[in-house]
Every structure is written in structure tokens, then in C-alpha cells.
Amino acid sequence: MTFLVVREYNEDGAVEAVEDYLSLITAGDASGANAVVAPGAGGPSLLTDEALSSATAPLQVDQVTLGSDEDQSGDKMSVVTVHYTVGDESGTADLDVWRDDSFLFDSWHIVEPLAVGVVLGPDVSESGLVRVGGTTLSDSGAYVTFPGVYELDVVDHPYLTLSAQELTVVHTSNPAALIESPIELVPTEALLSETRKQVDAQVSACAAAAPTMPADCPEERWEGPDDAGPLVVLEPTSVAFDDGAAVTTRRAKDGGVTSRISFSGSGTYSYADGRPGARPFTVSGTAEFTRETVTVTYDGVAASR
């Protein structure tokens, strides 16, 4: 471990050590900051030059002060309080600074980095589909991150985006608490359009095949009088992704990712033999998709007779 050393014989040296450390972070030099205070053996790290330099609102230091007397732990350990701003948010962090007086002059060493643990949902953090500051996320656990506002995006996927495009990282009132981000994967309009297209085509094909339908059609739900014959879908199926439905992902050993989301919809049909009257039906199922393909499967089609 490399230490940033300020040789003073009073506690001002603790403040100066922290100020020098913070100057590396504000300059975007994560490597330099990590050489001063090692990131530790916590969760996956975003304490990198690439992530830090990409912050849309980096750390702005407002004030660095020596903690109150009751915060100090004898003559070997001092607490230095950092007040900072990132974007529209402000934060406060206490850093323990240890005094080494084994040499002629005191050496001050910062014990823990100015970092925050951020927990993202597993479909965001483990799928390999999401980037933070150019770093693709692929691990579970809390990501250790310097305070800042970071841009998130989905890597080259026509059917997925995010519920928010920025991640704000700031210390809470509980310094040991993890930030649990509500950001999640959400479907794009392109996925909804493709799902509607497939449902319309499949429901029309199933209706036209009545009363004997292919095995992948929910034949019993369409079944009318024995002599009904083919059915005709009168209106395109109104399909929407279910309220509150979450995109779930599954990552294969080869790195390929398959995602799923549930949908439901409704429409009307009539009898192809000219029998009067339109009747409603409902449809529900799952859209399973990759970057290249979308496959629709049904839970069932319930028709009112």
C-alpha cells in the first residue's frame, strides 16, 4: 500500500492529508487516490480512472475540518470531516486518519477511502447489459464508488433501456449504509411494437384455423359451437406490458443474455360464416428476447362466447 504522507507534529497534518487525497479525486485521478488509500476487499469496484473521469457531476469539496474532540480516539487517531456536493446533492463523510509517530516527524495515513457502496438490482448489475461510466457491470454485490453523478446506459440493445439514466452516489446520514438504487431495466417502444406485431399475426392465424387449431394455439379457449368454423379477428390486438411487470434476465455461461417480460391485451373476433355479432377475447403471455430476436408465448387466450 502506498501512503500519502504529511509530516506535521499536530492534528493539522490529518486535515492536510485528507485535502491532498481529495485533490486527487477531484482531478479524476482514481489511480492516485487508490495508491493513497487502497479500495479494500469489499464488493466490485468502480474506483477507476474511467468511471471517475466520466462523472457528469464530479465531487466538489466544500469544507474539510477536524472532527470534534469527542470524535477523536486518543493521540493516534483523528477524525476528519469532509463536506461535499455532487450535482444537487450534498454529503458528509468522516475519515479516520492514523498518526504514525515512529519516525522523527509524524506521518498521517487515511484508513478508509471516501467511497460509497451502491446496490443495484441483479438484472442491472449482473446481466452484463449496463454500463456506468464506460464500465460494464457484471457482478453481484455492492459496487464501491466515489461520490458523484454517473451516467448509465444499456450496451447496444434495441429492446431495453433504463428507468433512469443517471446514478447519484452520495453518503447518507448513516455512513455505513449502502445505497439501494431503484434503477431498473425497462422495455423500449421497439419491443412493444414487435410484440404487438407477433401477437396480431399469431392470434389471426389461430382464429383462422378454428375449430381445429395448431398445437401452440390455446384451442379450448377459442372453442365455439361445433359448426362455427373459422374465426376472424376484427381489430388488432391491444397489447401492453403488464403494470409493475419487471424485466428479468438470464445470463448464459457463454455470456449471452435472454430477457423476459409479461404482457396482456384484448381484441374482438367474429365468425367467418357471417354469423352476426363481435365477441371480445383477451390474451396474455411472455415476450422472451435477446438483442436479435423476440419470441412470444401465450399464457392463454380467453374468448367470451
Q: Compute the average pLDDT of residues 26-35.
A: 94
The sign of the CA dihedral 221, 223, 229, 232 is negative
Cβ(118)–Cβ(142) below 8 Å: yes
DSSP bridge pairs for 229: none
Does pLDDT of 6 surpass 70?
A: no
The pLDDT value given to residue 190: 97
Classify 254 as helix, strand or coil: coil
Per-residue pLDDT at 224 exceeds 60: no
Query: Phi-psi region for residue 145, left (φ > 0), alpha (ψ -120 to 50) or beta?
Result: beta
Cell of 116: 460509497
What is the distance, to the nearest Å, from the Cα of residue 61 to the centroid of all Cα atoms in its chain? 27
Judge whether 267 and 237 are in contact, CB under 8 Å.
Answer: yes
Domain boundaries, the chain: 12-186, 188-303
Task: Give residue-wise pLDDT tens across range 264-294.
Answer: 988 888 888 777 777 788 888 999 999 999 9
Confirm if 288 and 259 have CB atoms less than 8 A apart.
yes
Q: Return the HEC string of 135-148.
A: EECCCCCCEEECCE
| Cα–Cα distance measured from residue 281 to residue 305, given in angstroms and rounded to the nearest whole number | 9
The model carries a pTM of 0.80
Indicate if the pLDDT at residue 175 is higher than 70.
Answer: no
Give every CB contact of residue 286 below 8 A, 6+ residues apart in sequence: 260, 261, 262, 263, 296, 297, 299
At 295 the pLDDT is 95
* Predicted local confidence at residue 287, as pLDDT: 96
Query: Are 7 and 87 spatial neighbours (Cβ–Cβ below 8 Å)?
Result: no
